[in-house]
Amino acid sequence: MQRLLIKGGKPLNGKYRVSGSKNAALPILAATILLPDHSVIKNVPNLLDVITIIRVLRALGLRAEYSQSVPNTVDVWNNSVKHVAPYELVTKMRASFFVIGPILAIKGLAKIPLPGGCAIGSRPVDIHIKGMEALGARVKLEHGFVIAEAKKLKGGRFYLDFPSVGATESVMMAATLAEGETLIENAAKEPEIADLANFLIKAGAQIVGAGTDVIKVSGVKQLRPVEYSIIPDRIEAGTIMAAAAITMGKVMIEGIIPEQLEAVARKLQESGVRIKMAADRVEVDGSGDRFKAVDVKTMPFPGFPTDMQPQIAAFLTLAKGTSVVSETIFENRFMHMHELRRLGADIKLEGQSAIINGVAKLSGAPVKVSDLRAGAALLIAGLAADGETELEDRDHHISRGYENIIEKLRGIGGDVSKAVVHVP
Ligand code: UD1
């Protein structure tokens, strides 16, 4: 159990450097299953979710560890791969399921536990399964496991019913070693997919179109080991943009890729926040008058990211007027709204929309974290709220996705500390 104490009401100020992307690191580490020998992955954030995927790789027979000498670097040695992924790790983190594609491509057989539901929705894996079938695999469900089998995967045409990020990634990984050409249509376009493709291309895969909605993969016989550096985390950057804005501070966020932040930057600008983008950094200036309400609807990339919905909602609790925040990606991603009310926010929920009437101030209170981005929203709301907010993060959700967040926020003037937990 982790508790964070936040003394809010002070503007954030200074320079902040973004870590490597969690959502790129997870599939790229999963993809090392496809590569022989020793690969080196750099700019990997040191996070609980990354540790979980490293443990999955180890359980599958690979050797994987954070380098002792180079920070944020993971070494992977791959000499043999088992085909069964462990239940406790896949049910702990859904992204562990993404190993199905690479295991199937390498072993001809993959046995992966169904990930089950999670706090933000039921999140089925039917699209992943259809993707494996499109490559010629026979798939069955038995005793809670998805069992996929194909002596040799064969390239095929696969149209995704919904542009799922993970399903696009697992099919793309599997197709790299399939016989012939695979066309992935209505593919997800998130930047993390392009990063995974760039990693695979460096390892010898033939992929064109990653980052667009049609990806063409021409199967190759084998891949080779690589050294690769992960892109920056656009969700961490967006979270800090929202944090600077809500506290009416001024923060220079460094090490970003501007195109990946456009949807978030536009909404903040529309609300009155001053944003200056440069080649690899963005300055967010939230000083001055109160912001205006804006409407936000989550969409697949390049639309507004669902992973930023809780944080923008936190920001809008203090904006003048009425904002409507609509969630279209996950069916149950509003848990933070109830906790934001405890800080004084005026929010009504109507189906998949939250109607937020901006209030003049938030006031600190004890709140509970239900999932990673809900935690981020409560953290930045706490930074803006008067007085003290105590964040109860029973399952260490925030550490799953934000590297060294306490130290990094303190670096820009955030008064955040770990509270001592008394076990009765
Ligand atoms: C990834 C991100 C997550 C982000 C999400 C949406 C990683 C490790 N995680 O998750 O942070 O919130 O994209 O941008 O990259 N769906 C199905 N069937 C499937 C797969 C998905 O119905 O087989 C549904 C899901 O329930 C959800 C929607 O599609 O409603 C989007 O999910 P998806 O894009 O697959 O998310 P993830 O890849 O799990």
User: The tokens 């009425």 sit on which residue?
Assistant: 322
204 shares a domain with 317: no
From the CA of 122, give the closest atom in ligand 1. Answer: 26
Instruction: Tell which residue, 160, 174, 231, 164, has the closest CA to residue 207.
Output: 174
295 shares a domain with 213: no
Choice among 51, 84, 118, 299 that is catalytic: 118
Phi, psi (degrees; rounded to nearest 5) at 127? -70, -40
Do the bridges between strand 214-218 and strand 250-254 make them parallel or antiparallel, or are there none, so unpaired? unpaired
180 shares a domain with 267: no
249 shares a domain with 116: no
Tell me the C-alpha distance between 198 and 15, whole Å.
Answer: 29
From the CA of 22, give the closest atom in ligand 1. Answer: 8
204 — alpha (psi -120 to 50), left (phi > 0) or beta?
left
Report the separation in Å between the CA atom of 321 and the middle of ligand 1, taken as the mean of its atom positions: 32
Active site residue 215: no
**Best mutation site among 123, 169, 239 for ligand 1, i.e. most ligand atoms within 8 A of its Cβ?**
123
- Is there an atom of ligand 1 within 6 Å of 41 CB? no
- Is there an atom of ligand 1 within 6 Å of 128 CB? yes
Beta bridge partners of 346: 357
DSSP state letter for 118 = B
- Is there an atom of ligand 1 within 6 Å of 159 CB? no
Which tens digit of pLDDT belongs to each residue from 298-338?
A: 999 999 999 999 999 999 999 999 999 999 999 889 999 99
- Is there an atom of ligand 1 within 6 Å of 162 CB? yes
Report the separation in Å between the CA atom of 335 and the middle of ligand 1, taken as the mean of its atom positions: 18
Q: Which amino acid is at 144?
A: G
Report the separation in Å between the CA atom of 165 and the middle of ligand 1, taken as the mean of its atom positions: 6
182 shares a domain with 54: yes
384 shares a domain with 257: yes
Tell me the C-alpha distance between 235 and 371, whole Å.
Answer: 15
- Is there an atom of ligand 1 within 6 Å of 100 CB? no
- Is there an atom of ligand 1 within 6 Å of 125 CB? yes
Query: Within 60-203, where are the H helices?
Result: 87-90, 100-107, 126-134, 165-175, 191-202
Nearest-CA residue for atom 32 of ligand 1: 164
Asked if 175 contacts 219 with a C-beta cutoff of 8 angstroms, the reply is yes
Question: What pLDDT sits at residue 55?
Answer: 96
Report the separation in Å between the CA atom of 169 and the middle of ligand 1, taken as the mean of its atom positions: 11
Overall pTM surpassing 0.95 (yes/no): yes
- Is there an atom of ligand 1 within 6 Å of 98 CB? no
Report the separation in Å between the CA atom of 146 and the middle of ligand 1, taken as the mean of its atom positions: 18
User: The tokens 């993390």 sit on which residue?
Assistant: 192
Per-residue tens of pLDDT for the chain, all 424 residues: 889 999 999 999 999 999 999 999 999 999 999 999 999 999 999 999 999 999 999 999 999 999 999 999 999 999 999 999 999 999 888 999 999 999 999 999 999 999 866 676 667 899 999 999 999 999 999 998 999 999 999 999 999 999 999 999 999 999 999 999 999 999 999 999 999 999 999 999 999 999 999 999 999 999 999 999 999 999 999 999 999 999 999 999 999 999 999 999 999 999 999 999 999 999 999 998 889 999 999 999 999 999 999 999 999 999 999 999 999 999 889 999 999 999 999 999 999 999 999 999 999 999 999 999 999 999 999 999 999 999 999 989 999 999 999 999 999 999 999 987 666 6
Beta bridge partners of 415: 7
Q: Which amino acid is at 76?
A: V
Tell me the C-alpha distance between 414 and 409, whole Å.
Answer: 5
Indicate the residue among 187, 213, 229 that finishes a domain: 229
Stated as kind and residue range, the H or E segment containing 26 is helix 22-31
- Is there an atom of ligand 1 within 6 Å of 124 CB? yes
Asked if 83 contacts 107 with a C-beta cutoff of 8 angstroms, the reply is yes
57 shares a domain with 109: yes
Encoded tokens for 263? 């949807």
Q: Is 154 helix (H, G, I), strand (E, B) or coil?
A: strand
User: The tokens 């997919």 sit on which residue?
Assistant: 193
Instruction: Tell which residue, 298, 365, 358, has the closest CA to residue 328.
Output: 298
- Is there an atom of ligand 1 within 6 Å of 193 CB? no
239 shares a domain with 224: no
Asked if 365 contacts 342 with a C-beta cutoff of 8 angstroms, the reply is yes
- CATH number of the CATH domain containing 248: 3.65.10.10
Question: What pLDDT sits at residue 280?
Answer: 96
The sheet with strand 227-229 has its strands ordered as 63-66, 74-78, 37-42, 227-229
Encoded tokens for 85? 């992924």
Report the separation in Å between the CA atom of 343 and the middle of ligand 1, taken as the mean of its atom positions: 30
Do the bridges between strand 138-142 and strand 109-113 make them parallel or antiparallel, or are there none, so unpaired? unpaired
DSSP state letter for 272 = T
**Using CA atoms in the order 69, 74, 79, 81, what is the torsion angle rounded to 10 degrees?**
150
Q: What percent of the chain has pLDDT over 90?
A: 93
Task: Please give the C-alpha separations between residue 181 and each of 119, 167, 403, in angstroms, as whole numbers.
Answer: 37, 18, 39
Nearest-CA residue for atom 9 of ligand 1: 23
**Best mutation site among 130, 329, 332, 402 for ligand 1, i.e. most ligand atoms within 8 A of its Cβ?**
329
237 shares a domain with 157: no
Question: What pLDDT sits at residue 100?
Answer: 96
Quote the domain boundaries for residue 160.
Answer: 26-229
Task: Please give the C-alpha separations between residue 206 and each of 81, 123, 359, 401, in angstroms, as whole numbers.
Answer: 23, 30, 53, 31
156 shares a domain with 85: yes
Indicate the residue among 204, 229, 254 that finishes a domain: 229
Question: What pLDDT sits at residue 332?
Answer: 86
Question: What pLDDT sits at residue 118?
Answer: 67
- Is there an atom of ligand 1 within 6 Å of 263 CB? no
Question: What pLDDT sits at residue 419?
Answer: 85
Question: What pLDDT sits at residue 128?
Answer: 95
Angle at 22 between CA 186 and CA 34, to 5 degrees: 70
Tell me the C-alpha distance between 381 and 53, whole Å.
Answer: 30
Encoded tokens for 135? 């490559």
Report the separation in Å between the CA atom of 347 and the middle of ligand 1, taken as the mean of its atom positions: 26
Tell me the C-alpha distance between 211 and 112, whole Å.
Answer: 27
Indicate the residue among 229, 254, 271 that finishes a domain: 229
201 shares a domain with 85: yes
Residues 6+ apart with CB under 8 A from 406: 4, 416, 417, 418
Asked if 286 contacts 245 with a C-beta cutoff of 8 angstroms, the reply is yes
63 shares a domain with 37: yes
How many domains, the chain?
2
